[in-house]
Amino acid sequence: MKTCQDGVHLPKCTDIPVVGTAKIKNPIKFGRFVDEDDAVLVKITRKNVAKTAKNKKTPKHVYFEPAGPRDKIYYDSSKTKCAVVTCGGLCPGLNDVIRAVVMTAFHEYKVPSVLGIQFGLAGFIPEHGYDVIEMTPDFVSRIHEFGGTVLGSSRGPQDPEAIVDALERMNVSILFMIGGDGTMRAAAAVVKEITKRGLSISVVGLPKTIDNDINFASPSFGFDTAVETAAIAIKGAHVEATGAPGGIGMVKVMGRDAGYIAAQSALSCQEVNFVLIPESPFDIQGENGFLAALEKRMKSSGNAVIVVAEGAGQELVAASETTDASGNKALSDISTLLKEEIKQYFAGKDMPISLKYIDPSYIIRSVPANANDRIYCSFLGINAVHAGMTGRTGLVISRWNGRYVHIPMETVTLGKKRISTRSNYWRAVLESTGQPISMQNE
Amino acid sequence: MKTCQDGVHLPKCTDIPVVGTAKIKNPIKFGRFVDEDDAVLVKITRKNVAKTAKNKKTPKHVYFEPAGPRDKIYYDSSKTKCAVVTCGGLCPGLNDVIRAVVMTAFHEYKVPSVLGIQFGLAGFIPEHGYDVIEMTPDFVSRIHEFGGTVLGSSRGPQDPEAIVDALERMNVSILFMIGGDGTMRAAAAVVKEITKRGLSISVVGLPKTIDNDINFASPSFGFDTAVETAAIAIKGAHVEATGAPGGIGMVKVMGRDAGYIAAQSALSCQEVNFVLIPESPFDIQGENGFLAALEKRMKSSGNAVIVVAEGAGQELVAASETTDASGNKALSDISTLLKEEIKQYFAGKDMPISLKYIDPSYIIRSVPANANDRIYCSFLGINAVHAGMTGRTGLVISRWNGRYVHIPMETVTLGKKRISTRSNYWRAVLESTGQPISMQNE
Amino acid sequence: MKTCQDGVHLPKCTDIPVVGTAKIKNPIKFGRFVDEDDAVLVKITRKNVAKTAKNKKTPKHVYFEPAGPRDKIYYDSSKTKCAVVTCGGLCPGLNDVIRAVVMTAFHEYKVPSVLGIQFGLAGFIPEHGYDVIEMTPDFVSRIHEFGGTVLGSSRGPQDPEAIVDALERMNVSILFMIGGDGTMRAAAAVVKEITKRGLSISVVGLPKTIDNDINFASPSFGFDTAVETAAIAIKGAHVEATGAPGGIGMVKVMGRDAGYIAAQSALSCQEVNFVLIPESPFDIQGENGFLAALEKRMKSSGNAVIVVAEGAGQELVAASETTDASGNKALSDISTLLKEEIKQYFAGKDMPISLKYIDPSYIIRSVPANANDRIYCSFLGINAVHAGMTGRTGLVISRWNGRYVHIPMETVTLGKKRISTRSNYWRAVLESTGQPISMQNE
Amino acid sequence: MKTCQDGVHLPKCTDIPVVGTAKIKNPIKFGRFVDEDDAVLVKITRKNVAKTAKNKKTPKHVYFEPAGPRDKIYYDSSKTKCAVVTCGGLCPGLNDVIRAVVMTAFHEYKVPSVLGIQFGLAGFIPEHGYDVIEMTPDFVSRIHEFGGTVLGSSRGPQDPEAIVDALERMNVSILFMIGGDGTMRAAAAVVKEITKRGLSISVVGLPKTIDNDINFASPSFGFDTAVETAAIAIKGAHVEATGAPGGIGMVKVMGRDAGYIAAQSALSCQEVNFVLIPESPFDIQGENGFLAALEKRMKSSGNAVIVVAEGAGQELVAASETTDASGNKALSDISTLLKEEIKQYFAGKDMPISLKYIDPSYIIRSVPANANDRIYCSFLGINAVHAGMTGRTGLVISRWNGRYVHIPMETVTLGKKRISTRSNYWRAVLESTGQPISMQNE
């Protein structure tokens, strides 16, 4: 965008591509448009500022472009057709995003049609035979009171060419794609295909991950609700653990690559003794291993609550599969492995235990968003429409340093956010649980 | 009780044993005592009344004795020591019962001591080394806000002689036993041992079963809360089922012998398509079987929600164990069996499905009681103390036909309550789900 | 009904009028119909049974007719048009009743049309111009997830002739009226007008009162949810009371003539010190009065929680209006009066207090029904349709002694249920609060 | 702090005073201390960065010091006595802050004693006779499950000399003051008195305001919970409004100077038609006034939901007091004024309305914190202890741009945060409600 170019005094702003020049006056009534100087500094600690100040070659500061309505838009809103698709696993807040997109498109821009693509990217492929839904304000009016997605979802990629064929066939001008990093990569491929064909179709991404592991989203939508819901299961595990001699409550939560739900819900409960996350490898056996630490806890307190992220200890799961080649079924996930190991260990020690296992994953994914996430999702949806109407494409809407911003699509898929085990955040988890700093033998 | 004997005009009341004659004036301030004429007719439909009217030999009507304070009590309350024990699995409301016993004993009768036996009947056995808790009003004041039992619990019987030894050693006059039918049988054995030794110790039972399968309790305490909590998981299953192509949500709930939680929570949700309970046997395969019905549902609606009681289809589980003798691990429960069969069936039909399984059992068991159960449990506890103070023993406190009553201990353990599959209640479930009346092939 | 007449051995059953003889085979699939011997004894304590046994002139026992489907129905269901109207104040569960009526009419009886009358009886009057809603299964499918009534409601009577005109005009066969005792009296007037005109229109009542003061309903629908919601406000009052020096939390709840919500929610919270209800008159001033008791509590504990039913102390309110004739605005409700009196009293004693007042009434009325009430309301609605289809009229559906029954309309409007201040129930409230048995000076 | 001084390359960091030099090795186990370069830039938009870059005289950038443990501390933790006091109105999360302070002091620093001052600043004054509580980990272990403050609170200032006398008498080294801006001013006065006496006592503030109007806190703790709870009342108002002809639901929420709760809870509900806040003055009468807008809404939709912040329209309230000098009691708050005006206006138009008013303030204040606020409050408490142990004083702990920071006490009391009515945030509220941009006649 022009307004984002580096001037004499103005530092650099990350670029967002456009499908064409925005020349049409924005029709929204309430007439205050984004001041491009509201661009938000990406890195805000002194260390970073000092570093960039020294390095003369790189731009002094990098900013994210502010989200919000512009005074000029690209699409003639009275003729614009939008489409929304939700992809991947469920996550609280999907319906809120959908609702906000539809409401903003209809009420602010008087867009005549917002299509709902059913069951994810598969919905673009005619062979699947899924109908497209004409979403009206009336249709979406109360969907935010329900969990899940009113459009349905599905996993897996589809051919970008087939998707763009469908967009052309349906005459869609702006496509809103809500999904995880796989979906964002698919979105990038769709943008590429659109560019190749020279079409004027914008693609705006709304990154979704219940695991909260998206780069440059703090946190991802639905995460707060997920933590609140996980806490219910953890409370149950605590009650069960203290309710029986040798009581151990184990809760598995989502978190394939990052343990945010496990860590955050443990912090919110104050009743967890072990949090096992992908970022902090551990041994099961050995004098510093998990079982030894658990035994110590059981001896001192008589009970324990363990929260394990599904992606924790994957190397242990892999090892168990290898070693377990004697014909038995290999343990396919960390919670099953832990349950087996715990039972064997305490049986070997002749210490009776009572292990209760809770997997609340599908409950967590499917609850309606809480107030906080409802508002967050609304702003994501609102800002997605504002961005799309200007002709911007290949971007995602996010909140960074407390402000809604535009981020180039590839930026969020470059890597994943992880918990630093050296951070004050993880320290607080260790303090709250009392678990050892490390459960590795060496 | 004398006051319960059949007079000229008065019909028979079921007898409750006593450890001695109640001679002491009841010290409670608010001076209205139970009118024994408040005895509650056990069977109240016209059919039953007519039947008994014809049969001259049996008593015309059978009544349950009303619960509540009597003007004369047996134990000198200033010297009475009470004890409370909670046995078996967790159930919402345990802490409320404990609280009410302690509060009533202290505040109404000025009893000097109420002991809490930890971790079930094991807590009576010195070798286990569990401390006894002196429960004061202050100690129990807020426990009703938490799930589980503040005393802990455990499963399994203990030697009645050892239990009575402990009661003698601790100088306990009234023992309140909260537990399932195993516990009630243990209580009966304890009463027998007490009688054999000629001791003045009362045993009052408070029957507990989250499955709601206790005879003469309508419903059992905690059941309402359990249903409310199960409904959350069912909602999740519904959201998941509708959120994916071929979505099937399956929820397993408690119900070893009776499917009340499954049926009731399905009724409360209105989003369930199949309720599988122990009382209604079904086939999995075959043209009238469950899988055929499920396929029909999937073809017409594209998704399905299944609620299965853990005790449903036990003959199928047993059969799968027999047939599966080829070295593979037999499927040990109905939900695992169903998941496998569903996957195979639809794979064979080349219909892609997305099956999401939720087991909310430990969450359901461990939540705090809702308002309704809190009040119910309070009255059970209050009435248990009133009963114990009169020297009654070998009885349980229950609610029958809307009134709190005394029931002889053996009466509640004689059988179990089941859902009649010919009742209007089950009809309502079938109507609500739309499932076939029978899923048996013959 | 014929089947209800008193045979040689069969005791009397309360009569329900019919608009004609049921001759048509009931089309419902699941073919088990009501056994009229399931009639439910109205009074079930020994005292009542003995009393009726002695009195030779009156029928030995009085029964309520069981609710449920009959093998013969009166209306040809393929041509039957139903209508539903909701009247009076909101109450949790209204939408659940509506939903169950619509679902049962459509799915069980294949009734072609169920009309929704908007905004209460006013909806029958053309001048108001409210549209009638054609309610389909799809329309009602999720309404039970929302509070209030999807039809709207209004207060006040309308001319029975105008209502019957509307029923004739719309060709309605069965009218379901959901409302309080005013509505039930209106329903009786409508039945009378229908009879006068010799029309074949059934009127089935579904008594509604959040106050739980309906005769022969135990409890009224929505009451359980109301108690659960009131408890939230009481918890707040408790937190406020203990959070400030001289803290007093006062909560006003519904209960014009009966204090059930006040009493029941106090029992569910265990944190209330005073429950003021219409059934237990009290003095404000004087050595035994409320203020003296409150002062005692404040001196001993430093805080107090008061729950007051809106209908408590009406004679005091009336008196204040009389004495307050000096031109000031009279205090129109008991909570305002109490607040003023408390402030003056403690100001006079120079004891600083911090009084926090909560009126959660409109929140309580408008929440969605909890699981328990959802099921209860479903059965009321289902049974209302079964009753209407048989041609029964002038009856209400209720639950009595745990069973769903038909009750003649006039029976429920003859009087109101009240809390007996001499009952064990009220004793439990006094025990739980610690308030004096009486706060009257004489 | 030394580490904060402006070096050649390092920009300026706002200064925090200390009571002495930190020389003692920090005893906490988990040994990663704050990197002072983590200082957080205060203003992060491009506009601000550019502006400061041009102005040579002022420091280029201003940073807030990062919160967290330092490698050197000032107080010998084995001899340090801490004290905690909570002041002003209740707010969700108070107990969580208290709990975190106690847990961190005991478990991390092995501090021997943390005193709880009861009932706010009054607790320091011996004449009030409030005991001081020795808070142990056991004492605070479950307090986060309850609303309010376990210490009690009170309003109003106390003599700083008397407070410092008490601190000296009790031998307190670090005082944690939790309260609103009045309390922060009191804290500053206490710091001044401590400095005057040359004492080594640190005072750490934890700013509390349910209104979310604290400068440099985004948002204030408890705000998220408050919004979630206010949403329940708004839902009720919506149900009531749609449930009656001419239904108007009005909800008053907190917000004396800033309308954040009103705006945010309206955004979270999507069912509000008018949000009235202090920042946006409005007329009641006149063709552009509130009543005209309300009439328009009532005519088009038949119902309306109004959320009014207690501080909205204060000039109207003041005016009504002046004009209403004819002997009638002046209307003392905006909601009363609005209710009266609405009733009169529609009575004058002969449009029947049904106005339902809900004031959920005391419920909102007294609920326990939700998961999000529980975690936030924990970190505030943890970081307060870390700050205090280093000898820092006259500072508050806050979260700014997503990071926990130290802010000089006077900075947060200099002004109050307000909603900008020209922001995208307020635009979203206007879009969501559909209310006019302005309701002023000129």
Interface of B with C in 28-57 (CB under 8 A): 29-30, 32, 34-41, 44-47, 49-50, 53-54
Is the distance from CB of D204 to CB of D222 less than 8 angstroms?
no
CB atoms within 10 A of CB C422: 10
Residues A379 and A103 sit within 8 Å (Cβ to Cβ): no
Q: Are residues B259 and B173 in the same domain?
A: no
**Residues of B numbered 136-155 whose beta carbons fall under 8 angstroms of chain D's beta carbons: which are they?**
142, 145-146
Enter the pTM of the model.
0.94
Which residues on chain A are in Cβ contact (under 8 Å) with D66?
A: 45
Helix ranges (DSSP H) in D271-422: 290-301, 314-323, 334-348, 361-366, 371-389, 409-413
What count of residues does chain B have?
Answer: 442
Which member of A15, A35, A76, A211 is catalytic?
Answer: A211
Same domain as B98, residue B186: yes
Q: Which of A375, A403, A437 sits opposite D30 (nearest CB)?
A: A437
How many CB contacts within 8 angstroms connect chain A with chain C?
5
Active-site residue, B211 included? yes
Instruction: Give the pLDDT mean for B12-32.
Output: 86
- Reply yes or no on whether the pLDDT at B57 is more than 70: no
> Chain D partners of B146 at a C-beta cutoff of 8 Å?
142, 145
| Single-letter amino acid code for the residue at D264 | Q
Q: Of all residues in chain D, what percent carry a pLDDT higher than 90?
A: 80
Judged against a pLDDT cut of 80, whether residue C42 lies above it is answered with yes
pLDDT per residue as tens digits for the range C120-156: 999 999 999 999 999 999 999 999 999 999 999 999 8
Residue A203 and residue A288 in one domain? no
Using CA coordinates, name the residue in chain C closest to D129. C245
Amino acid identity for residue D303 in this structure: N
Give per-residue pLDDT as tens, C332-342: 799 999 999 99
Residue C167, pLDDT score: 98
Q: Would you say the C-alpha torsion D65, D67, D72, D73 has a positive or negative sign? A: positive
Does residue B130 belong to the interface with chain A, where contact is any CB pair within 8 Å? yes
Query: Are C147 and D365 an interchain contact pair (Cβ–Cβ within 8 Å)?
Result: no
Maximal C-alpha separation, chain D:
78
Compute the mean pLDDT over every residue in chain A, rounded to the nearest whole number.
Answer: 91
Rounded mean pLDDT, A178-191:
96
DSSP tag of C283 = -
**Predicted interface score ipTM higher than 0.95:** no
- Nearest chain C Cα to D232, which residue? C363
Using pLDDT thresholds of 50, 70 and 90, give the confidence band for residue C57.
low
* pLDDT level of residue D9 (50, 70, 90 thresholds): very low
Cβ distance D245 to C359 less than 8 Å, yes or no, reads no
Confirm or reject contact between C11 and chain D (CB < 8 A).
Answer: no
Q: In this complex, which of C9, C378, C424 lies closest to B53 when CB atoms are compared?
A: C9
- Residue among B398, B434, B41, B408 nearest B223 (CA): B398
CB pairs under 8 A between A and B: 99
Contacts of D404 in chain A (CB under 8 A): 424
Residues B282 and B429 in one domain: yes
User: Looking at the partner chain, which of D240, D329, D367 has a beta carbon nearest the beta carbon of C236?
Assistant: D367
With contacts defined as CB-CB under 8 Å, which chain B residues touch D146?
142, 145
Token output for A147: 């969990």
Contacts of B144 in chain C (CB under 8 A): 270
Taking only the tens place, the pLDDT of each residue in B346-403 is 999 999 999 999 999 999 999 999 999 999 999 999 999 999 999 999 999 999 988 9
Q: At what angle do helices B371-389 and C223-242 cross, to 10 degrees?
A: 80
B245 to A130: CB separation less than 8 angstroms, yes or no:
yes
Find the mean pLDDT for residues A425-438.
Answer: 93
Which two three-digit tokens encode residue B65?
């004795």
Q: Which residue has the higher pLDDT, C271 or B4?
A: C271
Q: What is the pLDDT of residue A367?
A: 97
Q: Which of A121-125, B228-232, D6-10 has the lowest mean pLDDT?
A: D6-10
- Give the pLDDT band (50/70/90) at residue C85: very high
**Position D310 pLDDT exceeds 70:** yes
Tokens 């455990």, residue located:
B154
In this prediction, residue B50 carries a pLDDT of 64
Distance from CA of D145 to the nearest CA of B (A): 9
Q: How far is C140 from chain A (nearest CA, A)?
A: 14
Q: What is the pLDDT of residues B263-305, one digit of tens each?
A: 999 999 989 999 999 999 999 999 999 999 999 999 999 999 9
Taking CB atoms and an 8 Å cutoff, what residues of chain A touch C142?
146
pLDDT mean over B196-204: 98
Evaluate whether residue C320 is within a structural domain: yes
Strands B354-358, B247-253: pairing kind: parallel
Q: Average of pLDDT values for C343-363?
A: 97
Q: Do D215 and D88 belong together in one domain?
A: yes
Mean pLDDT, residues A397-407: 93
C409 is a domain residue:
no
| Number of domains into which chain D is organized | 2
Contacts B245 to A, Cβ<8 Å = 119, 122, 128, 130, 152, 154
Catalytic residue among B6, B37, B131, B211: B211
pLDDT at C8 over 50: no
Domain assignment present for residue B62? The answer is no
D365 to C240: CB separation less than 8 angstroms, yes or no: yes
Cross-chain residue pair C37–B50, CB shorter than 8 Å: yes
Q: Is residue C12 part of a domain?
A: yes
Chain-wide mean pLDDT for chain B? 91
Euclidean distance between CA atoms C411 and C9, whole angstroms: 25
Decide if B63 touches C, using CB distance below 8 A: yes
Are residue D286 and residue D426 in the same domain, yes or no?
Answer: yes
Across the range C371-389, mean pLDDT stands at 97
Tell if the CB–CB gap between C144 and B270 is shorter than 8 Å. yes
Q: Write down the pLDDT at residue D14.
A: 75
Query: Which among C235, C247, C362 is the nearest to D240, CB-wise?
Result: C362
Structure confidence at residue A57 (pLDDT) = 58
Confidence of residue D282 (pLDDT cuts 50, 70, 90): very high
- Residue range D111-138: average pLDDT? 97
The per-residue DSSP string of C11-62 comes to: PEE----BSS---EEP--SS-----GGG-EES--BHHHHHHHHH-SSS-S-E
Q: Is D380 found in the same domain as D351?
A: no
Q: Which domain covers residue C138, as residue numbers?
A: 1-217+370-400
Does residue B407 belong to any structural domain of this protein? no
Question: In this structure, what CATH number is given to the domain that contains residue A213?
Answer: 3.40.50.450
Tell me how far apart the alpha carbons of residues C2 and C16 are, in angstroms, rounded to a whole number. Answer: 10
Does residue A20 form part of some domain? Answer: no
Please determine, for residue C275, whether its predicted confidence score (pLDDT) is greater than 50.
Answer: yes
Q: Which residue has the higher pLDDT, D415 or A1?
A: D415
H or E stretch covering C102:
helix C94-103
CATH number of the domain to which D275 belongs: 3.40.50.460
Average pLDDT over residues B421-426: 90
Q: Do C118 and C171 fall within a single domain?
A: yes
Residue at D387 is within a domain: yes
Nearest-Cα distance to chain B for A328, in Å, is: 9
Average pLDDT over residues A383-408: 96
Read off the pLDDT of residues C398-413 as tens digits, 9 standing for 90 and up. 999 889 999 999 888 8
Amino acid B185: pLDDT: 95
- Regarding whether B281 and B169 lie in a shared domain, the answer is no
B119 Cβ under 8 Å from any chain A Cβ: yes
Partners of B308 in the β-ladder: B252, B276
Mean pLDDT on A74-80: 96
- Comparison of pLDDT for D103 and B217, the residue scoring more: D103
Mutate to test the interface with C, among B375, B386, B425 (most CBs of C within 10 A): B375
Do D216 and D77 have their domain in common?
yes
For residue A362, give the nearest of B130, B148, B358 by CB distance.
B358
SS3 A199: coil
Distance between CA atoms of residues D23 and B167, nearest Å: 60
Q: Does a cis peptide bond (omega within 30 degrees of 0) precede residue A219?
A: yes
Query: Phi-psi region for residue D375, left (φ > 0), alpha (ψ -120 to 50) or beta?
Result: alpha
pLDDT number for residue D32: 77
Nearest chain D residue (CA) to A436: D30
Residues D257 and D376 in one domain: no
Report if residue D409 sits inside a domain. Answer: no
Question: Do D197 and D314 reside in the same domain of the chain?
Answer: no
Mean pLDDT across chain C: 91
